[in-house]
Amino acid sequence: MAEKGYTILILTDISARARQLRISQRTLGGALVGATFALLAMSYLFYHYVTFQAKHGEIEQLRQTVEAQRGVATRLETMAEEVTRLRAFDHQIRRLAGMEEAETAMAIGGGTVEFNKALAEGEQVEHEKLVDQLYQDLQRLEREVALRAESLKAVTSYLNEQKDRLTATPSIWPTRGYVSSRFGPRISPFTGRRQRHTGIDVAAARGTPILATADGIVTFSGRLAGYGRAIVITHGFGFKTFYGHNQKNKIRKGQRVKRGQVIGTVGNSGYSTGSHVHYEVIVKGTAINPLKYIIDKGRRAHVLQSK
């Protein structure tokens, strides 16, 4: 009995004669089964290829994330070291300036070593905790940097103010000579009565230079009853200085002067019994003993001595 099969006729434009191709049923079945297996195999491979690409993308993304987090950890440690140095510098500057300590810094945890250890051991929970810790530490560091910046700004402002205060504080002798009359109670050379002397008299030869004892602005330069030619310098921070009985004033009202600058010459103008400069230091409206502010008393004691 002949095997059942199928006959395929093939016609071409070149020849009118048809070609016959006979395929047995068994052969056709085998071809279909083979095609089915090939299709399944291709589908399987395609699926795994797509899955592999997705996994590969996830792995690459994870790798990039891990590298970025490692970078954050490294930068965090570097920043922590810089903040530690900044904290020490702030402490030193405040100590030298005699200022109170700034707010105590918060502790910083985590770091590259712990982070890499968690990654190496595959501890996902610890990894997530450390990542969270990294960003918390970053926020703390940013806050401390802001605090230290404000602290150093305050220190700078304080030191500038102290510098300005020092330049505004009378600290040198107004002229070279000797103290002929001290600050405080004395007998008036004109009335013979007891009076309060609001400054010191420094006797010197006529024409001896008179010096500004601190930086400031001349707020008076002219004649004043009883004191003859006189000068008033306003220094700021509540300080003023007064120079009386001058032979000549060499500065004018509104002029800025520096400590040690010549502002006039010693004379005998006004009510005076001899050539000298009457020198006062006024602090917030009150006359203070000028000798309390002169810092070179010992160095110039051989020149400036009481009679």
Please state which of the ranges 9-13, 152-156, 194-198 shows the lowest mean pLDDT: 9-13
Same domain membership, residue 186 and residue 146:
no
SS3 for 100-143 is CCCCCCCCCCCCHHHHHHHHHHCCHHHHHHHHHHHHHHHHHHHH
The total number of structural domains in the chain stands at: 2
Indicate whether 258 and 152 sit together in one domain: no
pTM for the model: 0.54
Q: Is residue 20 part of a domain?
A: no
45, part of any domain: no
Domain carrying residue 259: 178-292
pLDDT at 97: 61
**Boundary-marking domain end, from 109, 137, 168:** 168
6: in domain: no
Tell me if 25 is assigned to some domain.
no
158 and 182 part of one domain: no
Q: Mean pLDDT highest for which of 17-26, 213-222, 294-303?
A: 213-222
Cβ atoms < 10 Å from Cβ of 154: 14
| 227 falls within a domain | yes
Predicted confidence (pLDDT) per residue in 249-279, tens digit: 999 999 999 999 999 999 999 988 899 999 9
Secondary structure string (H, E, C) spanning 177-241: CEEEECCEEEECCCCCCEEEECCEEEECCCCCEEECCCCEEEEEEEEECCCEEEEEEEEECCEEE
pLDDT (average), residues 204-228: 95
Q: What is the CATH number of the domain that holds 239?
A: 2.70.70.10
Same domain, 182 and 275: yes
106: pLDDT confidence band, cut at 50, 70 and 90?
A: very low
**Structure letter (DSSP) for residue 99:** P
Name 47's Cβ contacts closer than 8 Å, sequence gap at least 6. Answer: none
Same domain, 138 and 193: no
More confident residue, 6 or 180: 180
